[in-house]
C-alpha cells in the first residue's frame, strides 16, 4: 500500500524583483522519514524553507498538510500547524539577556496559556526536562545565554524545537557549530523522532552526514527541481546532482614544499592564556595551514590573539622576520593580519548594508583622499572581488541580507582578501558553504596568497584534508602535531584530536 505524504509542496515559485529564486519546485515529506535538501549556495534552499515556515507568505504554488490546502501568513501560522524550524544563524534562535532556562522554556513563557506569574523554579524545572532530550541538562540554567559557547546555543535552539513534538522539523545546518560528540547526540535524537513518526527536513553541506542519516535526498539546482535520490546514497551522485562534475580537492600531484620559502609568520613560545602551553609554529609564503582541534582546544583563542582581540601572556609573534607587539585589531590589520571570524552573523556582516559596503568597510582610508571617498575605486574593487569569488548576486548594491549563507560567507572572505596582507586567518570559514563554493574560496586563496600565508581553522578533518598543505593539531591549548597534509594518516590525526 502506497504511503500518503504528510506534507506536499507543489510547484513552489518565488521572485524577488527581477530575480526568480524558485521555479516550480515540488517535494513530498513523509512521516517517519529523514529527508535531506541539498543544493549549491544560492540555489534556493533557504527561500524554499522560508516559504514552508511562513516567513515568505507571498509565493506561487500550493502547500498541503494531510491533503488539506494551507497558506501561512506568518511563522506563527506554520508553528501552529506543526512546522518547527531551527535556522542556520544561531543568533536568530536565542533571546539575548535571558538565561539558559528562559531560552529553553521560551515557548512556555510566551504561550497564551502561561501563568502570568513568573515562577523561576518552575521555568528551570521545565527547562531541565527540555534539555534532557539533547543531553544538555548539565548546563547552568541560571547562566546568561550570552555567556555560553556557540555550540551550546545551537543545542539549546534544537532542544527547544523538539519540546513541542512537531509534524515537520526543519534543521538548517544544525551541526555547523557543534562538536562531533554533540552531533552524535543530535543524530540519535533524530533517529528516535523518526521512529516516533516525525518528518524531518535536514539541510547540510556536510555530505557525509547526508549520506549517513538520510532516507531520501532532494536537490534544488539554480532555483529548480534538481532531482530526487534514494538509498543507497553516494556522495559523488549527490555532488553531481547539485553542481555537475567538479574537481573538489587539491590535485593528487600537488605537494607543497616549504624548502627555500620565506617564513611569513612565526610564533615563538607564545602563551595565549595561563592554562595553555607555549606555542611554536612557522607558516611559509604560499602555504595554507590547517589548525584543527575539538571545541575548547584553544583554536579561536589563538586566532583572537593574532588579530589583537586578546593580549598574550608571553612569547613572540614574528611577521616577515620582525617581532611585533599587537595591541589591538587596528594594529593587527596595519601589520597585514586579516581575520574571517567564526560567527558571521554577529561578528562579520553589516545587516541591511550593500555587498560593496560589507567588502570595503575596513579599508575606507585606502579609497579616500583628503577625507573624500573615491567611489569609483571602491566600486571597481568591490566588483573585482564579487567576480573573483563567484558571489551570486544582482549587483554590488544588493543588500547582503538578500544573499544565501554561503554567498554571505564569500563576501566576508572577499573583504579580508581585498587588500594586500601577510596572514589571513579563517575561523571555520566553510560553515554553511557548499562544496563548490568551498572550491571557489580555496582557489582564490591559493591565487591571492602566493606571497603570504593562510591559517585555516576548522573542526572538520575532511574539510582540512581537502584544502590545506599542512595540518596542525591543537589539544587543550598545546600543539600536539604538525604534518604535511599529503603525508598525514587520517586515523592517527583523529586520535591526536580526541586524545585525553
pLDDT digits (tens, 9 = 90+) for 117-164: 667 888 888 899 889 877 788 899 999 988 887 778 888 888 888 887
Q: Report pLDDT digits (tens) over 277-314.
A: 899 999 999 999 999 987 778 888 999 999 999 999 99
Evaluated on CA atoms 155, 157, 159, 161, the torsion sign reads negative
In the predicted model, is pLDDT for residue 359 greater than 50?
yes
The share of the chain scoring above pLDDT 90, in percent, equals 41
Residue with cell 609564503: 285
pLDDT value of residue 96? 84
Q: What are phi and psi of 149, to 5 degrees?
A: -75, 165
Contact by Cβ (8 Å): 291, 454? no
pLDDT value of residue 117? 60
Evaluated on CA atoms 49, 429, 389, 329, the torsion sign reads positive
Q: What are phi and psi of 489, to 5 degrees?
A: -100, 120
Q: Report pLDDT digits (tens) over 57-67.
A: 999 999 999 99
Contact by Cβ (8 Å): 173, 89? no
Cα–Cα distance for residue pair 500/497, rounded to 1 Å: 9
pLDDT value of residue 68? 95
Q: What is the mean pLDDT of the chain?
A: 86
Picking from 103, 92, 87, the residue whose alpha carbon sits closest to that of residue 201 is 87
Picking from 35, 475, 21, 23, the residue whose alpha carbon sits closest to that of residue 233 is 35
User: Which of helix, strand or coil describes residue 427?
Assistant: strand
How many CB atoms lie under 10 A from the CB of residue 149?
A: 14
pTM confidence score: 0.63
Long-range pairs, 316-320, Cβ under 8 A, ≥24: 316/266, 316/267, 316/268, 316/269, 316/270, 317/265, 317/266, 317/267, 317/270, 318/263, 318/265, 318/266, 318/267, 318/268, 319/264, 319/265, 319/422, 319/423, 320/262, 320/264, 320/422
Picking from 87, 93, 116, 121, the residue whose alpha carbon sits closest to that of residue 106 is 93
Supply angle C-alpha 261, 266, 271, rounded to 5: 160
Length of the chain: 500
In the predicted model, is pLDDT for residue 30 greater than 70?
yes
pLDDT value of residue 255? 63
Domains, the chain, ordered by start: 7-243 (3.40.50.300), 263-498 (3.40.50.300)
Amino acid at each position: 500500500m502506497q504511503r500518503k505524504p504528510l506534507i506536499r509542496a507543489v510547484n513552489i515559485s518565488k521572485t524577488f524583483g527581477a530575480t526568480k529564486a524558485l521555479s516550480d519546485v515540488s517535494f513530498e515529506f513523509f512521516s517517519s522519514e529523514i529527508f535531506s535538501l541539498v543544493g549549491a549556495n544560492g540555489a534556493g534552499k533557504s527561500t524554499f524553507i522560508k516559504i514552508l515556515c511562513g516567513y515568505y507568505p507571498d509565493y506561487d504554488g500550493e502547500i498541503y498538510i494531510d491533503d488539506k490546502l494551507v497558506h501561512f501568513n506568518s511563522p506563527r501560522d506554520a508553528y501552529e500547524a506543526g512546522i518547527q524550524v531551527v535556522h542556520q544563524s544561531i543568533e536568530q534562535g536565542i533571546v539575548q539577556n535571558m538565561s539558559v532556562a528562559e531560552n529553553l522554556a521560551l515557548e512556555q513563557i510566551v504561550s497564551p496559556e502561561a501563568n502570568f506569574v513568573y515562577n523561576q523554579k518552575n521555568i528551570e524545572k521545565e527547562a531541565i526536562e527540555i534539555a534532557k532530550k539533547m543531553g544538555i541538562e548539565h548546563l547552568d540554567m541560571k547562566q546568561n545565554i550570552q555567556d555560553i559557547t556557540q555550540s551550546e546555543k545551537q543545542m539549546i535552539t534544537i532542544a527547544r524545537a523538539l519540546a513541542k513534538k512537531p509534524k515537520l522539523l526543519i534543521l538548517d545546518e544544525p551541526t555547523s557549530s557543534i562538536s562531533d560528540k554533540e552531533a552524535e547526540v543530535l543524530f540519535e535524537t533524530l533517529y528516535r523522532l523518526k521512529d516516533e513518526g516525525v518528518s524531518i527536513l535536514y539541510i547540510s553541506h556536510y555530505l557525509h552526514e547526508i549520506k549517513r542519516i538520510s532516507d531520501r535526498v532532494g536537490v534544488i539546482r539554480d532555483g529548480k527541481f534538481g532531482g530526487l535520490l534514494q538509498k543507497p546514497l553516494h556522495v559523488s551522485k549527490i555532488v553531481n546532482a547539485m553542481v555537475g562534475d567538479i574537481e573538489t580537492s587539491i590535485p593528487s600531484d600537488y605537494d607543497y614544499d616549504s624548502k627555500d620559502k620565506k617564513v611569513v609568520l612565526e610564533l615563538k613560545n607564545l602563551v595565549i592564556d595561563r592554562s595553555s602551553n607555549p606555542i611554536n609554529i612557522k607558516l611559509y609564503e604560499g602555504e595554507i595551514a590547517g589548525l584543527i582541534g575539538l571545541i575548547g582546544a584553544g583554536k579561536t583563542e589563538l586566532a583572537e590573539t593574532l588579530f589583537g582581540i586578546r593580549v598574550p601572556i608571553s612569547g613572540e609573534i614574528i611577521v616577515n622576520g620582525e617581532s611585533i607587539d599587537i595591541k589591538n585589531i587596528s594594529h593587527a590589520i596595519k601589520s597585514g593580519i586579516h581575520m574571517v571570524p567564526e560567527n558571521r552573523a554577529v561578528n562579520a556582516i553589516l545587516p541591511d548594508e550593500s555587498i560593496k559596503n560589507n567588502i570595503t568597510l575596513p579599508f575606507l582610508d585606502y579609497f579616500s583622499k583628503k577625507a573624500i571617498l573615491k567611489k569609483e575605486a571602491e566600486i571597481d574593487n568591490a566588483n573585482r572581488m564579487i567576480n573573483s569569488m563567484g558571489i551570486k548576486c544582482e549587483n554590488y548594491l544588493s543588500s547582503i541580507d538578500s544573499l544565501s549563507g554561503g554567498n554571505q560567507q564569500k563576501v566576508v572572505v572577499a573583504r579580508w582578501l581585498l587588500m594586500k596582507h601577510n596572514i589571513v586567518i579563517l575561523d571555520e570559514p566553510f560553515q554553511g558553504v557548499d562544496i563548490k563554493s568551498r572550491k571557489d574560496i580555496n582557489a582564490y586563496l591559493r591565487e591571492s596568497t602566493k606571497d603570504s600565508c593562510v591559517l585555516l581553522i576548522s573542526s572538520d578533518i575532511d574539510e582540512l584534508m581537502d584544502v590545506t598543505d599542512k595540518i596542525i593539531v591543537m589539544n587543550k591549548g598545546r600543539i600536539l602535531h604538525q604534518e604535511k597534509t599529503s603525508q598525514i594518516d587520517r586515523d592517527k590525526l583523529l586520535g591526536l584530536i580526541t586524545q585525553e
